[in-house]
Chain A
Amino acid sequence: MNAIEIKNLFKTYKNGTEAVRDVNLMVAKGDFFALLGANGAGKTTIISILIGLVNKTSGAVKIFGHDIDTEFDKAKRLIGVVPQEFNFNMFEKVQDIVATQAGFFGIDRANAVNNSEEVLKKVGLWEKRISMARTLSGGMKRRLMIARALVHKPKVLILDEPTAGVDVQLRFGMWDYLRELNAKGVTILLTTHYLEEVQQMCRNAAIIKEGNIICLDSVRNLNKLITQETYVIAVKKMQSLSGIEVYKPIKVDEYTLEVDLNRDEQLNGLLIKLINNGFDITDVHPKGQRLERLFLSLL
């Protein structure tokens, strides 16, 4: 059974904007799925329809087989959502926010308090449990929303740009936690601008443009669609580039070169050419922006 099934989904807002146009999407149980697209592509609208914040114009949506038109309450019980923007009462205490959310999901007070303790400890906010939400830092507020989304133990976790504006340390911490959740069987659907995030964590991805899915495949296959790789080459001292012009190298600084290689070109050939031209190579690594390239080429 698929965790999420979307068929022929359309959404036209009252002002006439067609935000979603005939979207078909299946997210398998246990998947780690990315929804990619530029701002205004329709990602948040799709997510908002899944969680009941936006009414669809037409189409069918099922969460673990529960149709949102006929069994939305059952579908909602299976979903946890971390929205893009903070959407909690800033004047409430951290644990109250999380325990109240559990109550809204029908979990009795005693269990709601226990669950909230569990998730707050997990995201490192237990020490802040009696603090007003408004006193938390930006990163803590984002963790609070993750804790709130998990308090009813959902089977599907939907995250709308969860690491936007989050520092590197926190982002890595969140990645680890999301991987851990996914390993425990939680299906994860996320939207993000950080393509590195997709490459690091996701198994499958869809790219949305103007409300349509224009590309849907595994991240591995999407990577293969790119026929070029950029290599970053560190050297002890920059030499003349005239001998390697055939590779169209880009001089980043006095110690770094970037070279694009087609899939059919060998790295060995480039390295030999560099050595023969007097370059003393200290490091070579792929730039790792394959998905960015694909993303930009499709958009």
Chain B
Amino acid sequence: MKQQWIAFKTLVHKELVRILRIWTQTLLPPLVTQTLYFIIFGKFVGSQVGPINGVSYMSFIVPGLVMMAVINSAYGNVVSSFFGAKFQRSIEEMLVSPMQEWVIVAGYVCAGVIRGVVVGILVFLVSCFFTHPTVYQIGIVIVFMVLTAVVFSLVALINGIFAKNFDEVAIFQNFILVPLIYLGGVFYSILRLPVFWQNVSKLNPLLYMVDGFRYGFFGFSDVSVAFSAILLIILTLMLWQANIWLLKKGVGIKN
């Protein structure tokens, strides 16, 4: 067990070195993008939109934009690193070692979460230049941020496992993840939508992550926070098992 722990720490260390080595690709871009969102949506568009549940539009979008950065960073880190290792065949360094599958999954997820959370905190700090964000329950904020980063790190790992080329990495991100993020209540409350679209929105798992996270800031939510938390935990457990199973079977990494 001690050796597996050392292997886990080694993988996390290797990933963190990678994140810092290419910080202009891993840490900087989300700050620039989210700053633009604050300026365009928060300042320009937001000035035309009234408060939501007594919260200014600029403040309302802060949790959504932080969560968007967390999701993109956690996801992007794991999928690019894992697929990169497959592409360069350096993944064989792990496969020939006695590392168990759960160590590989845990290592990548841990690195994805660290990058996601760090970027999320940086985006939150940027938001302080535009508004005075309040935090209603820090525990809820942390739980939703970390669990969401875990879920999307696990999804990214599955994407990396199945991907055979860079196109297949980009397809999920561009055609599934991005629409889900934008339609997940980052910029609006679904209660302002017609009932039909409210119900459609509830099929989007990202809604529950963004909404629960926002509850931690303001103390109000569009859907049940407890339900959102349970959904996140169930997703985490299912995706964790799926990753372990795929790696044990050698899908996408062994012949």
| A100 in contact with B14 (CB, 8 Å) | yes
Cβ-defined contact, B88 with A106, below 8 A: no
Question: In whole angstroms, how far apart are the Cα atoms of A13 and B3 in the complex?
Answer: 33
A83 CA / B85 CA spacing, docked (Å): 16
Min Cβ gap B23→A in Å is: 14
The answer to whether B7 and A76 touch across the interface, beta carbons within 8 angstroms, is no
Q: Give the CA-CA distance A253 to B230 in the complex, in Å.
A: 85
Interface residues of B (CB under 8 A from A): 2-4, 6-7, 9-11, 13-14, 17, 21, 84-85, 88-90, 92-100, 250, 254-255
Q: List 9 A-B contacts (CB under 8 A).
A: A51-B95, A52-B95, A53-B96, A53-B255, A55-B255, A85-B89, A104-B7, A105-B98, A106-B2
| Chain A positions within 8 Å of B17 at CB level | 96
Q: Contacts A87-B89, A89-B88, A90-B88: A51 and B96 contacting too (C-beta < 8 A)? A: yes
Which B residues are CB-close (under 8 A) to A106? 2-4, 6-7, 98
Contact: B6 with A87, CB < 8 Å?
A: no
Picked from B6, B84, B88, the residue with its CB within 8 Å of the CB of A107 is B6
B90 touches A103 (CB 8 A): no
Quick one: closest A residue to B249, CB to CB? A55
A142-180 Cβ-contact flags toward B at 8 Å (1 or 0): 000000100000000000000000000000000000000
Asked whether, in the complex, the Cβ of A88 is within 8 Å of the Cβ of B93, the reply is yes
Give, as a whole number of angstroms, the nearest-CB distance from B157 to chain A.
Answer: 17
Q: Is the CB of B98 within 8 A of A87?
A: no
**Residue pair B2, A79 in contact (C-beta under 8 Å):** no
Closest Cβ neighbor of A108 among chain B residues: B6
A79 and B96 contacting across the interface, CB-CB below 8 Å? yes
The complex places the Cα of A148 from the Cα of B93 at a distance, in Å, of 9
Q: Which of A46-94 contact B (CB under 8 A)?
A: 48, 51-55, 72-74, 76-77, 79, 81, 83, 85-92
**Is there an interface contact between B97 and A105, defined as CB atoms closer than 8 Å?**
yes
- Is A101 engaged at the interface, CB distance under 8 Å to the other chain? yes
Q: Which residues of A contact B13 (CB under 8 A)?
A: 100, 103, 109
Within the complex, the shortest CB–CB distance from A202 to chain B, in Å, comes to: 23
Q: Which residues of A contact B4 (CB under 8 A)?
A: 106
Chain A residues within 8 Å of B9, by CB: 103, 109
Using known A-B contacts A55-B254, A89-B88, A106-B6, determine if residue A100 contacts B98 with beta carbons closer than 8 Å: no
- Please give me the residue from chain A that is nearest to B90 by CB atom: A89
**CB atoms of B90 and A88 under 8 A apart:** yes
Contact indicator B88/A104 (Cβ below 8 Å): no
Q: Would you give the shortest CB distance from A250 to chain B, in whole angstroms?
A: 45
- Rank and list the top 7 A-B pairs by shortest CB-CB distance, nearest first: A106-B3, A103-B10, A73-B98, A104-B97, A87-B89, A89-B90, A76-B98
Q: How far is the CB of B51 from chain A (nearest CB, A)?
A: 48
Instruction: Mark each residue of chain A from 1 to 43: 1 if its CB lies under 8 Å from any CB of chain B, else 0.
Output: 0000000000001100000000000000000000000000000
Given contacts A89-B90, A104-B97, A108-B6, 12 further A-B contacts (CB under 8 A): A13-B255, A14-B255, A54-B254, A55-B254, A73-B98, A73-B100, A85-B89, A92-B14, A100-B93, A101-B97, A106-B2, A148-B93
Q: Determine if A104 and B99 form an interchain contact, defined as CB atoms under 8 angstroms apart.
A: yes
Q: Write the nearest CB–CB distance from B113 to chain A, whole angstroms.
A: 20
Which B residue sits closest to A77, measured CB to CB? B98
Q: Which residue of A lies closest to B14 (CB)?
A: A100
Q: Which residues of A contact B96 (CB under 8 A)?
A: 51-53, 76, 79, 81
Q: How far is the CA of A261 from the CA of B98 in the complex (A)?
A: 53
**CB contact list, A190-222 vs B, under 8 A:** none
A101–B94 CA distance with the chains assembled, in angstroms? 8
Q: Which residues of A are found within 8 Å of B97, using beta-carbon distances?
A: 76, 101, 104-105
In the complex, what's the smallest C-beta–C-beta distance from B147 to chain A, in angstroms?
Answer: 28
- Closest chain A residue, CB of each to CB of B97: A104
B93, B98, B255: the one within 8 Å of A54 (CB): B255
Q: Kindly name the residue among B4, B7, B85 whose own CB sees the greatest number of chain A CB atoms within 10 A.
A: B7
Closest residue of B by beta carbon distance from A11: B255
Residues of A within 8 A of B89 (CB): 85-87
Chain B residues whose CB sits within 8 angstroms of the CB of A148 once the complex forms? 93
Find the residue from A54, A76, A100, A148 having the highest chain B CB count within 10 A. Answer: A100
Question: In the complex, which residues of chain B have a beta carbon less than 8 angstroms from the beta carbon of A112?
Answer: 10
What residues of chain B lie closer than 8 Å to A54, measured between beta carbons?
254-255
A157 CB, min distance to chain B CBs, angstroms: 12
By beta carbon, the residue of chain A nearest B9 is A103
